[in-house]
């Protein structure tokens, strides 16, 4: 006669405990079975349910104690007894607990804000400071928040960071709509990328700051853009900033280019907005430190530098025009033209804050002043010639002074940081390599995918890596953070500066050397390198899967034969 | 004495219950009812006692039809002596008092 069906509560209790017994740790499963057997004897369904609830706590305790036992054993070992003799596989000396503690210490070290920033900046340098897709997503998320908060300056900062020209333009438009004094933001994305010119932005720039020579120089560049885009892409970022110096404006675009340069010559001041750009980058980064460093670098590089070659070409043209005027007997006009050129150079020297602008400005001022001095000498005006010569000497001295202070300071900063950068890159590289090997060893040991008895040497190597890998990574991670300290300090100083300081060392000179990572490291972060890595990973996984399947089939066949 | 045990009042209650009929085998549910301990408290104590050599366990030879065999428990020879000692000591320091009369 079949036994009567138990009440629902008891049936649930029995089923739950049966399920728990199935997942009970091997070494204490008989206690689960004991609890289950007793449940059958309990007449009251509610009592049975409470009994099983108590059983659930025993189940949890058994798992905890099992886990603790596993933690006390080395990676790869289970609670099952070891085979006698020397036939079994080798295991590491350190327990899982020790390994886990060391790995946790490494994670804590690298996950602290300073460690996180160091890893972010250095890994970004391996990708040549290029933005990844996830970087861009961060900017878009921040832009949505800035839009919600109606934060014009933050939108302007994100416009400087955003590599996509259309999105950048959208952020810039919103920023200017919210705060019209931010009109200069249009200059930051002029020809970024090289073939892109935001003509509407340029128009608004000209409207807002018509007396700025820099704006007219940008307009002259825009007039020549078809010539630019026919040229091969600039080989590096620096060349992209300066533009192709030897490109000469073709006849077709000449009148507009010349008209704009004429307006630049007569404009009352020169301001490339570089101070405002830097201040905005600093402020934005300080406000949202989560902005990926690749995009902060993008923001640093965003101010467009005028094409110095074209400015020199224009100045030479003006000087030759003045010489022609002088030859034609129009001395007054010639003098005026040369004075305009010299003043233009002077205005650029006063208003240009970057090294490249200074370089061009001194050259323009020197050429103008030299031509003026020669003109006075030829005209027999000795006093004016002497005054022009004195001004020329002043310009030469200022240029030399700037070369000694600015360039030399930049070069020495670069040299100091270059040495540290080598240390940072090598420690990071070694730490990564050892981490990858250690992780592989731990995975192979834990999942027992390899019949270690047949691969004794590999077994020995995996055990050594599992024992010494984590402490080695800890030492290398500490060395990495120690070597990175000057860079962290430079970033901190940059962020904490209240106002822009032209005399402070440029952050690009300090962090730039990090970009000189070994080509093999950079290769790993390029798309082709990552594709190769994924291919290797897929092959390794496939080999592991095939090995498991073949092993299972082999065992099955051997078992069938034995039976 | 076997391995050192953390003797709580619940453990002393269980030892007392096991000592009532020291040579007989006891069922878990019966022990739970005698001592008033819930399964979540009783079984960890039983597990500890077994591990320390105080307790003998075995499976029922002839289970009821359609039911799994039950687990049975009794104190080992040494376990009985140690248990009596512990109960006496606990009584002396007034940490515990017997529920079932003098052991």
Break chain A into its structural domains and give their ranges: 8-70, 93-126+412-518, 526-563
| CB-based contact A470:A103 (threshold 8 Å) | yes
- In chain B, which stretches have pLDDT less than 70? 1-5, 100-103
Phi/psi for A348 (5° steps) reads: -65, -40
The answer to whether B67 contacts chain A (CB < 8 Å) is yes
Query: Tell me, what's the ipTM?
Result: 0.92
Per-residue pLDDT at A1: 45
B48 touches A at CB < 8 Å: no
Task: Flag whether residue B58 sits within 8 Å of chain A, measured between CB atoms.
Answer: no
Nearest to B39 among A37, A40, A51 (CB): A51
Q: Which pLDDT value is given to residue B28?
A: 96
Q: What are phi and psi of A212, to 5 degrees?
A: -100, 120
- Residue-by-residue pLDDT tens, chain A, 563 positions: 455 667 888 899 999 999 999 999 988 999 999 999 999 999 899 999 999 999 999 999 999 999 999 999 999 888 877 776 666 788 999 999 999 999 999 999 999 988 988 998 888 887 777 777 788 888 889 999 999 999 999 999 998 888 888 888 889 999 999 999 999 888 876 766 666 677 788 888 889 999 999 999 888 888 876 544 444 444 444 444 444 444 454 455 678 888 889 999 999 999 888 888 888 888 888 888 878 887 887 777 777 778 888 888 888 889 998 988 888 888 889 999 999 998 898 888 887 777 778 878 888 889 989 998 999 998 888 888 999 999 999 888 888 887 777 667 777 777 778 888 888 988 998 999 999 999 999 988 888 767 777 788 888 999 999 999 999 999 999 999 999 999 888 888 877 766 555 555 567 777 777 776 666 666 666 667 777 878 888 888 888 788 888 888 887 888 777 76
Which letter does DSSP use for residue A212 in this model?
Answer: B
Q: Which of B41, B43, B69 sits opposite A35 (nearest CB)?
A: B43
Look up the pTM and report it: 0.66
Rounded Cα–Cα distance for residues A35 and B16 (Å): 21
**pLDDT confidence of residue A238:** 40
Closest Cα of chain B to A82: distance in Å?
Answer: 20
Give residue A245's pLDDT.
Answer: 42
Give the separation between CA A196 and CA A291, rounded to whole angstroms.
24
Judging contacts by C-beta atoms under 8 Å, the chain A residues touching residue B68 are 33, 36-37, 40
φ/ψ bin of A150: left (φ > 0), alpha (ψ from -120 to 50), beta (otherwise): left
First to last CA, chain A: 38
Across the interface, whether the CB atoms of A55 and B40 are under 8 A apart is answered yes
Q: Do A54 and B41 touch (CB under 8 A)?
A: yes
Give residue ranges of A with CB < 8 Å to any B CB. Answer: 3, 28, 30-31, 33-38, 40-42, 50-58, 61
The whole-angstrom separation of Cα A467 and Cα A176 is 59
Cα angle: A376, vertex A377, A383; to 5 degrees: 65
Domains of chain B: 9-61+69-92 (1.10.10.10)
Pairing label, strands B71-75, B55-59 = antiparallel
């Amino acid at each position: 006669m079949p036994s009567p069906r138990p009440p629902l509560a008891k049936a649930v209790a029995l089923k739950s405990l049966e399920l728990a017994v199935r997942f009970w740790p091997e070494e204490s499963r008989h206690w689960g079975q004991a609890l289950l057997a007793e449940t059958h004897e309990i007449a009251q369904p509610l009592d049975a349910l409470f009994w099983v609830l108590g059983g659930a706590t025993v189940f949890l305790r058994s798992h905890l104690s099992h886990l603790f036992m596993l933690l006390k054993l080395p990676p790869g070992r289970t609670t099952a007894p070891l085979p006698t003799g020397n036939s079994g596989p080798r295991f590491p000396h350190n327990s899982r607990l020790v390994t886990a503690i060391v790995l946790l210490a490494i994670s804590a070290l690298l996950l602290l804000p300073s460690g996180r920033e160091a890893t972010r900046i250095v890994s970004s340098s391996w990708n040549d400071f290029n933005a990844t897709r996830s970087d861009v997503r961060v900017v878009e998320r921040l832009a949505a928040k800035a839009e919600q908060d109606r934060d014009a300056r933050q939108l302007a900062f994100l416009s400087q960071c955003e590599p996509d020209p259309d999105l950048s333009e959208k952020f810039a438009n919103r920023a200017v709509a919210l705060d019209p004094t931010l009109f200069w933001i249009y200059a930051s994305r002029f020809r970024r990328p090289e073939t892109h010119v935001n003509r509407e932005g340029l128009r608004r720039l000209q409207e807002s700051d018509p007396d700025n020579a820099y704006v007219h120089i940008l307009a002259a560049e825009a007039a020549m853009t078809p010539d630019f885009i026919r040229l091969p892409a600039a080989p590096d970022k620096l060349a992209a900033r300066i533009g192709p110096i030897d490109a000469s404006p073709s006849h077709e675009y000449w009148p507009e280019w010349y008209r704009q340069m004429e307006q630049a010559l007569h404009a009352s001041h020169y301001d490339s907005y570089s101070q405002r750009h830097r201040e905005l980058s600093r402020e934005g980064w300080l406000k949202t430190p989560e902005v990926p460093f690749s995009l902060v670098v993008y923001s640093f590089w965003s101010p467009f530098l005028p094409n110095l070659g074209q400015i020199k070409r224009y100045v030479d043209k003006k000087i030759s025009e003045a010489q022609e005027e002088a030859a034609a007997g129009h001395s007054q006009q010639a003098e005026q033209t040369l004075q305009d050129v010299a003043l233009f150079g002077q205005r650029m020297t006063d208003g240009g804050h970057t090294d490249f602008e200074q370089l061009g400005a001194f050259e323009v001022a020197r050429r103008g002043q030299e031509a003026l001095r020669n003109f006075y000498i030829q005209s027999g005006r000795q006093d004016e010639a002497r005054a022009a010569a004195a001004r020329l000497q002043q310009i030469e001295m200022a240029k030399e002074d700037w070369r000694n202070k600015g360039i030399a300071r930049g070069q020495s900063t670069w040299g100091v940081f270059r040495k540290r950068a080598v240390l940072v890159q090598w420690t990071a590289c070694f730490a990564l390599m050892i981490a990858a090997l250690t992780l592989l060893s731990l995975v192979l040991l834990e999942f027992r995918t390899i019949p270690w008895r047949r691969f004794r040497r590999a077994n020995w190597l995996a055990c050594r890596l599992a024992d010494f890998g984590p402490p080695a990574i800890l030492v290398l991670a500490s060395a990495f953070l120690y070597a990175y300290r000057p860079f962290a300090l430079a970033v901190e100083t940059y962020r904490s500066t209240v106002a822009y300081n032209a005399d402070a060392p440029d952050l690009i000179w300090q962090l730039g050397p990090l970009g000189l990572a070994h080509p093999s490291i950079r290769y790993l972060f390029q798309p082709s390198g990552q594709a190769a890595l994924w291919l290797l990973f897929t092959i390794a996984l496939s080999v592991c899967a095939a090995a498991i399947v073949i092993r299972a089939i082999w065992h099955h066949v051997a078992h069938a034969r034995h039976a | 004495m076997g391995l050192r045990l953390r003797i709580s009042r619940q453990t002393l209650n269980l030892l007392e219950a096991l000592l009532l009929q020291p040579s007989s085998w006891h069922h878990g549910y019966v022990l739970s009812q005698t001592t008033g301990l819930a399964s979540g408290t009783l079984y960890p104590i039983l597990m500890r006692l077994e591990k320390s050599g105080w307790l003998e366990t075995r499976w029922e030879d002839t289970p009821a039809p359609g039911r799994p065999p039950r687990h049975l428990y009794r104190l080992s020879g040494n376990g009985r002596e140690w248990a009596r000692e512990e109960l006496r000591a606990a009584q002396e320091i007034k940490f515990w008092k017997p529920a079932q009369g003098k052991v």
